[in-house]
Amino acid sequence: MSFEMPVYHHPDFSAERFCNSPDIKCVPAEMDGVAPEYFHSTSMYPEYFKVNGKWRLAPESRMDSCVVLREDGRLDVVEARNLKKGDQVVLGRTENGEEGIYMHCTGFENPDADDLPDHFVFRQGRSRETSYARDYDKLFELLRYEKEHGNIVWVMGPAFAFDADARRAMSALIDNGYAHGLMAGNALVTHDLEGALLHTALGQDIYTQKSQPNGHYNHLDVCNKARRSGSIEQFIKDYDLHDGIICSCVKNHVPIVLAGSIRDDGPIPGVIGDVYEAANAMREVVKHATTVICMATMLHTIATGNMTPSFRVTEDGTVRPVYLYTVDADEFVVNKLLDRGSLSATTVVTNVQDFITLVGKGLGVI
C-alpha cells in the first residue's frame, strides 16, 4: 500500500460573500516588538487575506503571531517580539471574511462529498487502551513517502538515551534517511553522548541498567570533555565515537537544535541558552517540516506544536498537510497539546522506547 497525499481545495472566492468582503486593514507597528491594538492573531490553519481585491494565502503560518503586509505584497507571519517599527500589521478579530480575513479549516476535505470525511485532523483524546495498529501502518506509509518527498523532524526527550534498543533504532532511522531535523534539549544530547562514550546514561549501563561505580559523575564528565573539545562535532572526533543518535545526526548532516533550560548541567556546546533565540532556531527547522514527531517531552512538544502550521506551501505552489504526532507514556502529556489548540495531531500513548523500536522494525531498518 502506497501513501496518497490529500488534495487541497482552495475556497471558492467567486462566492458573493467573498466578493463583498473588504480589503484587509493594516496599521504600522509603533515600535519594535509591539503590535498595534486589534492586531490579527494567526492560527495553525490556512488563512487568506484580501489585498487589492484579491484573496491571498499567507504561505507560512503558525499559532499566535501577527501578519505583516510587505511593500512587495508579500504576507509574512511574524511573532510579535520580532515586529519592527513601521511594519504594516494586519488588523482584524474575525475570520469569515468580514474584515478581509478568512480561515480555511476544511481544505483537505472533498467539497463534493455528501458526508465529509476526516481531513488531516486526526482523532483526539486517546488513551493507553486505544488500538494503534492502523496508526502505525499509516505512519510507516507516511514516513516512506516523506523520506523521498518531504521533511521529517523529530522532537525528542532524553528517554531514548536510557535504552540501548531505542538508541539503536533511532540511529538506524537517521542513517537510513528518515530524519531531516532533530530538536531536543541538553539532557538528550548529554546522555546520548554519555552512552556513546561510556555505555551509560546517568551512570547506569544502557543495556543492563546496572549502576557503575561513581556513575553519577559520568554525564558531568561528558559535559566537561565536550566543553573542552569546544563543539559536539569535535568531541565526537576527539573520542572517536560512532554510535547513538547524535553521532548519526552529525555523520548524516542532520540539523540539530538544542534548546536549553534553567536546570541544565554543563551545558553541552551548541545548546542555546536564550529561550527566544532557541525558539527562532526551532522555527527555522519547523519551516521546512512536513512531518513532525514529538516524543517524551511535554514542553518541547507544546512549543513545537504551537509553531507548526497544519499545512505547507511547496515551491510549485501546491498546498499539502503537515503531519504532527505526539508520543508519550502519559495520556496527560499527549492531550496537553490538543488542549492548547494544536488540533492537527495524532496522539499515541505508549512507551517511546517501544514506539521507536516498532517504527524501526516497521520500516525495515533494524
Q: What is the CATH number of the domain that holds 150?
A: 3.40.50.10690
Residue 216: CB atoms within 10 Å: 12
With respect to residue 312, please indicate whether it lies within any of the assigned structural domains. Answer: yes
> Helix 298-307 vs helix 275-286: angle between axes, to the nearest 10 degrees?
60
* pLDDT, position 2: 80
With respect to residue 85, please indicate whether it lies within any of the assigned structural domains. Answer: yes
Residues 162 and 62 in one domain: no
Q: Which of 84, 103, 122 is the last residue of a domain?
A: 103
pLDDT in tens, 105-163: 999 887 665 444 343 343 445 666 677 888 999 999 999 999 999 999 999 999 989 99
With respect to residue 69, please indicate whether it lies within any of the assigned structural domains. Answer: yes
Confidence band of 320 (pLDDT split at 50, 70, 90): very high
With respect to residue 118, please indicate whether it lies within any of the assigned structural domains. Answer: no
Residues 316 and 210 in one domain: yes
Q: Say what the pTM is.
A: 0.91
Residues 212 and 301 in one domain: yes
Exposure on the CB side of residue 201, measured as CA atoms within 13 A: 22
Region of poorest pLDDT, from 15-29, 75-89, 320-334 = 320-334
Residues 186 and 43 in one domain: no
The CATH code of the domain that includes 62 is: 2.40.420.10
Residues 176 and 38 in one domain: no
Can you tell me the distance from the alpha carbon of 143 to that of 141, in angstroms, rounded to the nearest whole number? Answer: 6
Side by side, which strands form the sheet with 256-259?
271-272, 256-259, 181-184, 152-156, 291-295, 323-328, 346-349
Residues 151 and 242 in one domain: yes
Residues 189 and 301 in one domain: yes
Q: Which of 85, 103, 121 is the last residue of a domain?
A: 103
Residues 312 and 264 in one domain: yes
Residues 154 and 80 in one domain: no
Residues 96 and 138 in one domain: no
Residues 90 and 144 in one domain: no
Tally of domains in the chain: 2
**Structural domain boundaries enclosing 157:** 133-362
Confidence band of 344 (pLDDT split at 50, 70, 90): low
* pLDDT, position 117: 38
Cell, residue 361:
522494525
pLDDT in tens, 224-257: 999 999 999 999 999 999 999 999 999 999 999 9
Residues 191 and 78 in one domain: no
* pLDDT, position 112: 62
